[in-house]
Amino acid sequence: MSLQGSLSELPLPDVIQLVSVSGKTGAFEIQGEHEAGNIFLRDGQIVDATVGRLRGDAAVYEMAIWSQGSFVFRPGEETDEVTIHISNANLMMEAARRLDEWRVLSRKIPSLDLVPYFTTREKGADQVTLSPQEWILVTRIDGEHSIEEIANQLRWAPFDVSKLLFGMITTGLVALGKPGESGQTGKRQQPGLNPVTLLGLAEKIRAVALDVVGSGGERTIEKQYNSARTLIERGEGFNALREMVEQHTKAISLLKGADTAAMFDEQVRPLLGKMQQI
């Protein structure tokens, strides 16, 4: 006899706990707002789970935060795969923790259907510093694709994408709009060429230049960096970065010689090349 119900009435971690203590073998079929997934138990132990491109414990954690949808438990259904090797207690403890965290995230991110876009930054705003994961994420924000779609593009869990976006929304770098809203991004830009991405790349180039030039050239590098930052904020885009690299190269050549300038150029050109390919 199957067990079924609504996730809005009974969170998934609680449902799984009820079934697992009975030592049953079977499969949960979970239908969320956007996609469906499965969790397999063998003698009460969770051994496998799948949802979208996610598998194993990552799939369990993703489904655990779903607050809307339905579940059905079908006794006797089995899987040949074993992708989960931690205890149910530890798995459910982490799932419950993520569910609590999602409740906080959902205050600013009420739906994965919302579309992230970059806000207009005021002149003189604080410098943008991005982590490697944030760097990857901002190259996908174009004001057209939803959080769910971006997560699928990156093959990341929507929960992980939402955690990164939460910080960006809190600091005012990013806002969320409904799909198809006109005017939410102003002038459309190609993915990867938005101001936040360009400012982040300008900081990376600046760091390389400061490392190469050493003492004595910091003021020149800072002046050129600030000039590029101003141009980017005015909408000059990728051309501002090209000009910044050229000015840095000239300054380093005068201060440290042609060989050092060539070393700098060799380090930063791949960064520009990757950005052009996005």
Chain segment 160-207, per-residue pLDDT in tens: 999 999 988 988 888 898 887 644 544 444 445 667 777 777 888 888
Task: Assign 257 to helix, strand or coil.
Answer: coil
Residue 118 token pair: 């970059």
For residues 210 and 160, is the Cβ–Cβ distance under 8 A? Answer: no
Q: Please report, for the chain, the start and end positions of each structural domain, with discontinuous segments joined by +.
A: 3-105, 115-177, 195-277
How far is residue 31 CA from its own chain's centroid?
24
Residue 122: pLDDT over 60? no
The pLDDT assigned to 26 comes to 92
The residue whose two tokens read 């190269």 is 249
Taking each continuous run of H as one helix and of E as one strand, the counts in the chain are 10, 8
The whole-number average pLDDT for the span 107-136 is: 76
* Predicted local confidence at residue 115, as pLDDT: 93
Continuous H helices in the chain = 12-20, 57-64, 88-105, 132-138, 147-154, 158-170, 195-213, 218-233, 238-256, 258-277
The amino acid sitting at 166 is F
Task: Give pLDDT tens digits for 201-230.
Answer: 788 888 888 888 887 788 889 888 888 888
The Cα 103–Cα 91 span in angstroms is 19
Do residues 232 and 127 touch, judged by C-beta distance below 8 A?
no
Question: Are 71 and 30 contacting, i.e. CB atoms less than 8 angstroms apart?
Answer: yes
Assess contact for 116 and 165: CB atoms under 8 A.
Answer: yes
Compute the distance between CA of residue 275 and CA of residue 278 in angstroms, rounded to an integer: 5
Percent of the chain's residues with pLDDT above 70: 87
